[in-house]
Each structure stands twice: as C-alpha cells, then as structure tokens.
Structure 1
Amino acid sequence: MEDYQQAFIGRMVERLDAYAAGEVALPRLVDDLRGLFEVADPREWAIRDVFEDLWSDLDAECDLETQPWAPSGLADDTRLRRTIDALRSWASQIANGAPSA
C-alpha cells in the first residue's frame, strides 16, 4: 500500500475520534469513511473486503438509528460501538503499515 493510501485510511481514525467526541453525526461519519476509502482506493482485496464488511455493518446500524422507516428498538448501541471499535482498530493497523487486517 502506498503512503498516501495509508494516510487517507489514517484520516478515518480522526473521523472516528471526532464522532466519539460528539463533533460528527453518525450519518456524516458513514459518508466520510466511505469517501476516504474511495480516495485511498486500496488495491489489496483483503483490505477492501474487511472495510466493506465493517462499513456495511456501520451503514446498516446508522440506518436503524436514523431512518424514519426503521422500526423502533432495532438500533443497538452495543453493536454500533463494537463496529466503530473494529473500524478504528482496522484503520489504525492499516495506517501504521499492517499488510491487511
């Protein structure tokens, strides 16, 4: 992975931290993470697959928390926290040079 790609993945950690600090709304976080990943455009399938799995879980949880069509009570704060923690761990590993996570 190129340095610039690692830098964009590293910026995901900053966005996740901003969300944790209450500076970014969940829908914005979901969009920002997708955008940073698209700009990074990693070629490694293992990296792409892990991100897609984690991001899909985050996007689904965001929908359950924010969309008017979502039935009340389906959103799960514990599942959201686990997904955010997993995304942060994955992005930190990639940004610090791990070959895949």
Structure 2
Amino acid sequence: MKKKEQILVRVRGHGDVKQQAFAIALSQVQKEVFKNTNNIMLRIEPIDIQVVSAIEKTIIERFLFVFLPRKKTLYEITLDVSVNVTFVDLSDIKFLTE
C-alpha cells in the first residue's frame, strides 16, 4: 500500500540576498512534487541538490532617472532537487460499492 519513488524536480528562486533566493527555490519543491502526481503524499525527503544556474544581477537605480544612484543586486538560482517520495497509491485501494 505504501510505496517509495525517487523524483527529480527543477525549481527556481529569486531574491535580494543569496539565502532568500535559495530558500524560495527550496520552498517550491513541495509544489512541484504535488503537481506531478495524483497520489497522497506521506513524506518528501530531499536526497541531493545540484545547482543548474546561479545568476547575480547588479542594476543601478536612480531617483527621477538622474539623482541618487544606488546599486541593487538581485540573485536568481535554478536547482535540480532529487527527492525520495513516500506515498499511498490510490489505485491499490479497492472501494466497495453499495
């Protein structure tokens, strides 16, 4: 009844600091796993994380396009996360009709 499967999901995150971008990417893992299956999930356990791309963008913002220039840095990260998923397969459950 209870089954295990290994799934690879690709997630993206972006933020003002590196930690925020990484945390946002990891928070997307559960959504991606639920999107790809129709079973009832019992446990989602990450096994391995690989960085596909990590981009640091620096832009210069100006007040009224001329005054007070300041640098703003944005971070984007794309990860491949390998997870072990424990789930209950609904097709294995036999329902009785009355």
**Greater CA radius of gyration, 1 or 2?**
2
Q: TM-score, normalised by structure 2?
A: 0.28
Q: Which has the higher helix share?
A: 1
Compute the TM-score of the two structures, normalised by the length of structure 1: 0.28
